[in-house]
Amino acid sequence: MSWLVTGGAGYIGSHVVRALAQAGLVPVVLDDLSSGMASFVPEGVALVQGSILDRELVERTLREHEVQGVIHVAGFKYAGVSVQRPLHTYAQNVEGTRVVLEAMAAAGVDKIVFSSSAAVFGTPDVPLVIEETEKRPASPYGESKLIGEWLLRDQAIATAGSEKPLAHTSLRYFNVVGSADPSVYDVSPHNLFPIVFEKLLAGGTPRINGDDYATADGTNVRDYVHVGDIALAHVAAAQRMIAGEPIEAAYNLGSGDGLSVRQIMDAMARVTGIAFTPEIGPRRPGDPDRIVATGQRAARDLDWRMRHTVDEMVRSGWEARRAAG
């Protein structure tokens, strides 16, 4: 028996693959390599190259590898770009999730851990987000992730009286950073850590977008969580399902306090040894002062906790990026 990781050749997915293997579960990867990298898949792990939109391929993979559960990480993850490419976003994230669920039903696979996002909340007007906080997604990306959660819910209701009722959970996470393996790094051109790393490697000066927010140092406060911790939470959810233990429909994987962009910049300078004073640019439209979530429910059920300091998060990401050349 194995666990299928869709998007398992990506930055987050490949960490999930490693965590599964370390926990004694057999991972199988399905990835179209549109943003993932085959080199991120550990040696000895089966890699099926193809799209989650290919219904026949997904079902065949589930059957041939005797998959008992799916960790669904694959998707189009760029919130800002999704505004310009809504149809592509919905195709990948909504239709893709529907196809995965349909193939699972056909193959008799009844467990799924869904990689959702804090983007389902949009711009919350509360200091600390909990699972029940109102969902007001502000982008097609956030909307597509919320619809994904609905798809899981509705399929679970539809199969509740069957021989194989769907067990599911959605893990909502925020700013995923760092690396738990020196051969894997964040390749996104839109995330803060790789943006700063590339700027420093090119001899440039990183920029902060606005320093007049209603926070302690004037810069945005966000939840930054280590990718290794995120991966462990996915595995804990899978193990809970295997054991037949009750599991919530959704968990927020938050830090509970957050870090400001200036705190991140200060850590970047400390860890890299490159002294710099960040440039201050204008605010980005729609950027809220603070988005931080509690992870208490995940701590209760999924052994969720912040295992890394900000310097450790920066150092692991920096070392992995430099190792890539």
pLDDT at position 170 = 98
147 and 77 within one domain? yes
Q: What is the pLDDT of residues 281-316, one digit of tens each?
A: 998 777 788 889 999 999 999 999 999 999 999 999
Q: What is the DSSP code (8-state) at residue 94? A: I
Q: Mean pLDDT across the stretch 114-131? A: 93
Give residue-wise pLDDT tens across range 19-28: 999 999 999 9
How many angstroms from the chain centroid is the CA of residue 148?
14
Greatest pairwise CA separation for the chain in angstroms: 61
Q: What are phi and psi of 46, to 5 degrees?
A: -65, 130
User: 84: burial class by Cβ within 10 Å (0-12, 13-18, 19+)?
Assistant: exposed
Q: Which of 14-18, 121-125, 217-221 has the lowest mean pLDDT?
A: 121-125
Confidence at residue 241, expressed as pLDDT on a 0 to 100 scale? 98
Q: How many domains does the chain have?
A: 2
Domain CATH code at residue 123: 3.40.50.720
Under 8 Å between Cβ of 230 and 302: no
Q: Residue 304: phi, psi to the nearest 5?
A: -75, 130
Assess whether 208 and 163 both reside in one domain.
no
| Within a domain: 299 | no
Integer angstrom CA distances of residue 84 from 36, 142, 165 = 22, 14, 37
Here the tokens at position 201 are 């490697």
29 lies in the same domain as 56: yes
Give the integer Cα–Cα distance in Å for 141 and 144.
5
Q: Annotate 142-156 with DSSP letters as a single string.
A: HHHHHHHHHHHHHHH
Q: Identity (one letter) of the amino acid at 73?
A: V
185 catalytic per annotation: no
Residue 210 sits in the same domain as residue 139 = no
Looking at 11, 90, 141, 213, which residue is catalytic?
141
CA 152 – CA 170 distance, rounded (Å): 9
pLDDT per position as a tens digit, 45-62: 999 999 999 999 999 999
Average pLDDT, the chain: 96
Task: Kindly tell me if the per-residue pLDDT of 106 is higher than 80.
Answer: yes
8 Å CB contact between 142 and 117: yes
pLDDT, tens only, 176-217: 999 999 999 999 988 999 999 999 999 999 999 999 999 999
End-to-end CA, the chain: 37
Per the structure, the complete domain to which residue 202 belongs is given by 177-223+255-292+306-323
Query: Given this model, what pLDDT does residue 174 score?
Result: 86
Same domain, 183 and 57: no
Residue in 28, 115, 15, 113 with CA at minimum distance from that of residue 75: 115
What pLDDT sits at residue 127?
A: 87
What pLDDT is recorded for position 288? 80
Is residue 213 domain-shared with residue 279, that is, in the same domain?
yes
Backbone angles phi, psi at 302, to 5 degrees: -120, 15
Confidence of residue 32 (pLDDT cuts 50, 70, 90): very high
